Every structure is written in C-alpha cells, then in structure tokens.
C-alpha cells in the first residue's frame, strides 16, 4: 500500500450518501497516512442512507482543490443528484481535473463529472443506471469492478470497495497525472 503521509484528501458529499462508500475509502486513505476532510454544501453534519452521521469539516464554497492532493466522490442517488446541482461542488470537482489530481468516484458519484464536463475521451464505470448519462458526456462506459484512467478511479457498487480503495490509495500516492484534465 502507498504511503500517503502528508497528503490531504477531500471527500465531497451531502446527505443520503451511500454510507460504506464514505466510511470504507475514508478508512483506507487514513490507514495509509492521509488526512481526510469532509467537504459539503451542508454546514454542520451529513447523514447517510443507513444512518451514518459525520461532521462537515469544510463548506464546499470555501474549499479549493489546490489545498488537496485528491478527491473522493461517494455515491448514493440523492447525494449525487444534489451535488451535481450545486455550482460550488461542480466547480470544486472540475478544479481537480484542471490541476491533474487523482479523483475516485463510485456508484452514482460520477454523475457530477458529467456536469463538470470532464469525461470526454475518458473510460469509466459506475452504477449501471448512469451508463447513458456518462456516455452522453463523452465517456466510454465499461462494466468492470474498478477502472483507472489517468488518475480517475471508478467503481460500480459497494461490492467493489476493496478494489476501489486499493486503486484510490495507489493513484493518490502517484500524485498528479498529466492525462487527468478537464
């Protein structure tokens, strides 16, 4: 496993996220030595679909991609739908691609990438219901456990979390990727 000591990872989400898609990658990056920071359009705390609550560390309007080494976008249909409607969240996400920084997305998490206009020419996976949206945004969609494309790590469901976590830690450990662009 890569050593992520000294790295700072943003987790962008709002209420009704898929609990394990926050808690499992969070544990993986912190176990590797990184500092995880919960960024949200919410002001105080967020609650997952299954009841996990966690305090918000930073409001998305104050967050800057330049202050982080990577981004993780957990899924959950409602969470992902609300994030893609938040201009600050979309801009924050796009800036990781502009700065060539690793991004991990799982389940419905990739939805915001269509709104951020960062999918042209990329290969990605997701929860199957997003396939058409992601293809329409210019991506090649594949049905695989985990896909890595120049610093963009994607997976389909919580069942894929072990492979997703390993690749997220690996890509963040590698740092910037020239092909990770908006």
Pairwise CA distance, residues 176 & 40, whole Å: 24
Pairwise CA distance, residues 79 & 81, whole Å: 6
Helix (DSSP H) and strand (DSSP E) numbers for the chain? 6, 11
Pairwise CA distance, residues 175 & 160, whole Å: 23
CA distances to 3, 59, 81 from 119, in Å: 29, 25, 17
Pairwise CA distance, residues 156 & 109, whole Å: 9
Of 103, 110, 123, 115, which Cα lies nearest the Cα of 171? Answer: 103
Check if the beta carbon of residue 68 is closer than 8 Å to that of residue 101: yes
- Provide the 10 A C-beta neighbour count for residue 50: 12
Active site amino acids: 107
């Amino acid at each position: 496993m890569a050593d992520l000591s000294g790295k700072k990872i943003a987790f962008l989400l709002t209420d009704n996220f898929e609990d394990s898609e926050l808690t499992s990658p969070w544990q993986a990056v912190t176990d590797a030595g990184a500092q995880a920071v919960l960024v949200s359009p919410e002001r105080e705390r967020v609650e997952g679909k299954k009841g996990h609550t966690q305090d918000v560390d930073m409001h998305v309007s104050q967050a800057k991609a330049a202050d982080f080494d990577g981004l993780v976008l957990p899924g959950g249909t409602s969470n992902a739908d609300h994030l893609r409607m938040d201009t600050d969240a979309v801009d924050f996400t796009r800036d990781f691609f502009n700065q060539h920084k690793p991004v991990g997305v799982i389940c419905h998490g990739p939805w915001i990438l269509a709104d951020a206009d960062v999918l042209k020419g990329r290969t990605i996976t997701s929860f199957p219901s997003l396939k058409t949206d992601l293809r329409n945004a210019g991506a090649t969609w594949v049905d695989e456990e985990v896909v890595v494309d120049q610093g963009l790590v994607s997976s389909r469901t919580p069942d894929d979390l072990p492979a997703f976590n390993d690749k997220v830690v690996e890509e963040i450990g590698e740092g910037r990727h020239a092909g990770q662009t908006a």
